[in-house]
Structure formats: C-alpha cells, structure tokens
Chain A
C-alpha cells in the first residue's frame, strides 16, 4: 500500500515538473532552471502522496487542506483578473510585483473564507442566531489541521509551525556560512547570498520566534492564571491561521527572486530591487503584524479579566509578567512596521514617493518608522525567554525566586525602557546629532532592569539544592549567553564606539548572543520543562544533555568569532572578503558552530521521536513545580479546570512555605455540579 502511494507520488511529481517545463517553454523562457522545476515537482509529489494516503474526501474534511486549495485558486483568479485589468487599461499584462501582490491578497482572503474562521462573525453580523449544535472537535492529529478554538490546540499549532520553520531558517544560514567559509569558491553569487541571509533573518524573527512565543503564551497563559481559555477563542484561531500563508510567502520569496536588503528592508534599496520576492516578504510580515496585534488584544484581555480568584498581580508567575510586557509592546508598536511595510509596498507597486528624494520623500523616514517597532520588538523577542528563565530556575534549585517583585517590575521596566531607545540603531544614519546623547543615555539605562534580572537569577541559585536536569542546564547556558549579549551591547550603545562597530559582525555577534540567550536556550529549557505537561510523556535526559552540549558549544563557536570579526572590521551583509586578511579561520569557526547547533536540533527531533516510542508516563507534576498548570493532569483536560482554582500564595516559594500556590476546587463539589448539569 505504502509503496503504491510512493509510486503515485513520483508520478505526480513528474507531472508537476513537466507542467512547469511546458509553461516555461510556452512563455519563451529557458526551459531548464533547477529551483522552480524541482520545487514545484516536489510539491506536486508531496500533494499526490498525501492525497493517495488519505483519500480525497478525508483530505477535504481538513480545514487546512480546503483552505490551501481555495487559497491557490483565489490567487490564480486574482492574478488573472489583475492581468485582465492591466491589459484593458493598456499596460503590459505581466508585472510580477503588482500582479502577484493583488493575486496573493485575493488568495489569502479566499483561504480565510474557506477555512471558516469568519463563519461565526458572519452569523453575528447578519443577526442570525448562534449555532445550536457545536460540532465535536475532530479526533487525534486531524484536529491540528482544522480550525479549533481551544487555546491548547492553537498553542500547539503555533509552536509546531515555528519549530518546523526553525530548521529551514537554520539551513538557509548554513548555506550562507559555507559560502563565507570560502567565498572564492563561488557557491552563491552576491544577490543569492544576500537573499539567503535576509530570508534567514525574516523567517527567524517573524515566523519562528513570534509563533513559538505565541504558542507558549496561548498554551500556558490560561493554564497559569487559572482560566479555561483565552478571552476571545475565535479571534485566537483567526490569528493563528494568518501565520501559515505568511510563512509560505517567506519561504517562496526565493522563487520570486528573493530580496537582498537584509531583514531591515531599508529604502532606496528595497524600493528599487526589481524581483517580486521583496513584495512577498512585505506582505508576509504585514500578515504576521495583523496576527500579533490581535493576539496582543486577546492576551492582555485574558490576563486582565480572566485571572482566577486570589491571583493578584504579585502572585502571577514571571512568565505571565513577561507575556504581559511583550504583548503590551506588540499591541502598540507593530502598527509602525505594518505601516512602514505597506508604504514600501505602495512605493514598489504604485510608485508612491514617501522614501524617494526625487519626489520630496525621505529615506531616513523609513528608518524611524521601522525602528519604532523593531527596537521594542527586540524585547518582544527576548522578554518571554527571560520570563521562562525566571520561572524555571526556582523549580530546579528548590528555592524561592530571589527578589520576585523586583524581577516582576524589571520586566515592565525593560518593556518600557525598550520603547525609548529606538534611535540607537541610527547613530550612523545621519539623524540629527542632538538626538545622539539622549538616546545613548536611555540605551545604557535599559541595562539596569536587565541587570536586575541576571542578578536575581544568580542569587536564586546561591546555596540552592540544585538538580542539574536538562531544563536547568539550558537555563545556565541562556544566562551566560544573555550576559555576553548584554555586555557586547553596551559598547554598541555608546555613540563613538558604535560609529566604528556599526554594521559590522560585532552587531551580528551581539544579537545572536541575545537571541541564543533570550530565545533559543530558554525555549529549549521550557521545551524540556513543559513537554511532559503537553504530551504526558517524558523526554530522555541523556539525549537532552547531548543536545545541550552540542548547542552550547555550537553557540559559543558561532558567536565569539563573530565578535572578533567585527572588531577586525568585517562588515555584515557582504558576500566576500579578502583571503589575505585573517578573517577566514573565524568564518570557518562560525560555520562549524552553526552546524553544531543544527546537530543539536537533530538530537532534539530524535529525542521527541524516542519519547513517543518509549511512552514513559510523566504524571501530573514530574518536576515538583508549584504553578497552576502542574495541578491538572498531563496533558491538561479539555477545559483545563473542572472548577476555577483559588490562588493562595506566590508561585515560587519552594522549600519555604508549606502553603500551596493554589487550591483546586473540592472534587465532590465538581462532581455534584456536573450531575446538576446533566440532570
């Protein structure tokens, strides 16, 4: 059976590739070009395989499949109509930018309608009665490919999307690193190299970091505050389903020529770069922007309105504080990047002149708009990671978190401080010189709340009864890397030093230390910490430690040479360097580091697989943690809590107080309530 399906898939792939070849022949292009032919052929093969394995009826019962097919059809219709209109008004039918932009927007709307995310709102708008019968959730894995409003399902959808794209983004950069190990071999040309690293950046930031954090917020915020779901479950589903098309656009921007601007997309380069890959990225980030703004609305409302009785602000786990700070930032600042990218898109497709000096525009204007968002976004990308660190350390050293209130407030301090430092990205851009000193001061001030956190973490471990399990050792790597990232950031905040280091590998090394310390390592720690809760199974400790070793060594090997390269004067986003300089060994070291990190990811996948095979039951609370999510079964029941729990004390009082963090409702009460409901 399986072999037959594979044969069918091969047939489908060959047909797909053949259609591309024919189309290229018909359009008068060179018939053979490996990337489009192989990618389309491969996708056709994959699609045929899924179709053969599931059968048409079952496939169409999945919302995701229905949405994807309708989206494709919608894109086709949009492209066709745009070309028709262009012919009618007497312009050449094909212009990649304009035609694809409109086609994709039509496609995304068609996809959302076919998914059914609007159904309920439509019924509300025409005043129809809400549906009487609620369809039971689909069983097993099919549920994750359908529109589901349960926050735990959406959390897993987000997380898996992000984690699935992580290897893609890593492999992209590995190609770039191999190229840089010896640029004279000519593995990539300059545009291809720029496209590879730019797409690496965009995918990492918007399609890996944001979805992974959204997933963790979705899953654990309601559980940790003692709620049954988020405040707006349907909005939650809608925001998730905006993510897959954005991710696809970012992955397929290569097919449309990539984009060579770096993730920052500064004009005039981004407005004059011809291929449509640039426009695809702009649309993708815009979609993610809508998604994260609405998620922010949802999560803030959830935290403000749906906390269990007794869950005062100063009884919330730090993860909740960090989430609160993060979504507060996304709520207001994401609008800036959305607008900036829309302006770029309008400049590219319709010739608007915001950034065009010949038309009275200002390229520097874009940088302000961009950094209004993108600096606060830096804190969006790391705050939750810091929150996870703060919550995980006390569990594994069996001590209360040192300075709980200080850590909580410093979280908001970082969030607030992060909003008033954006211009430090523009010290070298020719902005008014009088802005330099104030922004230098605010930048250095952000180091204070960050320092509070690092101090509190170290003080928490002091004299603790340490259990060196995988989550904790990942946290230690995170703290050290975060410290390196912080310390290398301070020179960048000082104007005269920054003028030398700006746009060098020092900057790249600094933010990679930040991202490994504030994102990847904490997320890995949290993954090992929460995996038992989400799946009900344990991960292997041994493999976890191997992964930790690979990733930690890899990260140091990756980050430290970058800092060295920067000091030596190596510019970022350059596809070549002089071999007579001493750059090459450092570039090779960086590449090796990248491969070690990737090997760590492979070990992680092995570990997950072996966990499902071994099936070691985790139990409700394998780590002896105190927060609410560990008081329910693993995985948590459909509605989280039979009775809304009552919170009694702070979350991190390990080994001090015998009073629990919270009390669940008495079981007999819950039973009688259920009996009444059925009666």
Chain B
C-alpha cells in the first residue's frame, strides 16, 4: 500500500494545540462565514474606524464576511461561559488580496484567549515563552513591542528570536474592556490576554518552505514530504 500523509499545517497545528492543551486550554472552532458583529464590531472594530482597513476583507453578497481572523471565536466562545476562560481557536482565515509567494487569500490561524481575575502582561509573556520554547527550542527568546490592534489594550507585536534573529511573529495584547463587555462580563472584575498565531508563517520557518502557495497547491510532491 502507498504511504499517506498529513498536511504540514495540520501537523503544526496539532503540535501547537497539544502544548496549549497541557496548560488547560479548550479547543473551539468558529464559523468561517461570519457576521460583521463577531468579526468586527464585537471586537471593538466599528465600521467607521480606520482599523477596518488593517485587513482586506471578503464581503459576501448577503452582508456577511469571510472571517479575517479566528478572533471571531473570542466573543462567540466566551459569551456563554464563565471565567476562568481558556481556549484556543484554530481555523482558516481569509484576506482579499492578490497572491504571490508571500501573500495568500487563505491561511490558518491559532488564536488564544485567557480571561480571569487579575490577568497580567507577565502571564501572556510566560504563555508565549512556554509555547515558543517547545516549538523552536529552549534557547528561544521573545520580546514585546507596543502596537495597536483594536481588540486589545495594551497591544503588542511579539518578536521571537529564532536562529539568532528577531522575527516579528504575532500580535497579542490584553483584551480590551469593550470586548470583555461584549462577552457579557464585567471589565472591572475580569480581564485577560489574547494572541493570534499565523500557523503558515510558523510552519514556513520551521521547514524552510519557499512559497506560501505550496500549502494549498495540492501538489503531492510537496505534500508527501510530510
């Protein structure tokens, strides 16, 4: 019998999810076709705000969108649960742009969310450090740079030191009080952190893949290597 294979993105997701599961994170998959509310407004991205331009969105003719991030799972998941809330949201996300070796319309994200009392920036750092040490080795370091994503405050760009070089690998931050409110929780009582990992980018770095489009090429010469 010929040998079958698992897609490298699935493989990398499994490895990542296992690490978070060991820390007690649940796994939740939201829908890919999403309402404007869960993809944008609930995450503190109102329609008249320039932050909407940060992502090129596929709008559907019925007014819904193809989710631009798996952050759409944040409010969907948390609004029916009580803290402590710990979950990761794996899934496919979409950007409406022309494709080339570095740009894709379709890629895979793993979003993480932790809501509790007294969550601190230090908790986020520890969690991400733990993750990247397991993925890239014990000497991996991370650093935070201030940045802006409307659903977090403070917001960070997270750099990871991999093979001696700082790489900008993900966005993260402390969940914005408005988002906590939309989860039907009291922002004076609860806070938390969130982060969004781009799985394609991480897998590209791990395996040294030269063209992001290979992931969705269906080319067996590529797929059978994994």
The answer to whether A and B assemble together is no
Q: Give A contacts to B, CB under 8 Å.
A: none
Q: Give B contacts to A, CB under 8 Å.
A: none
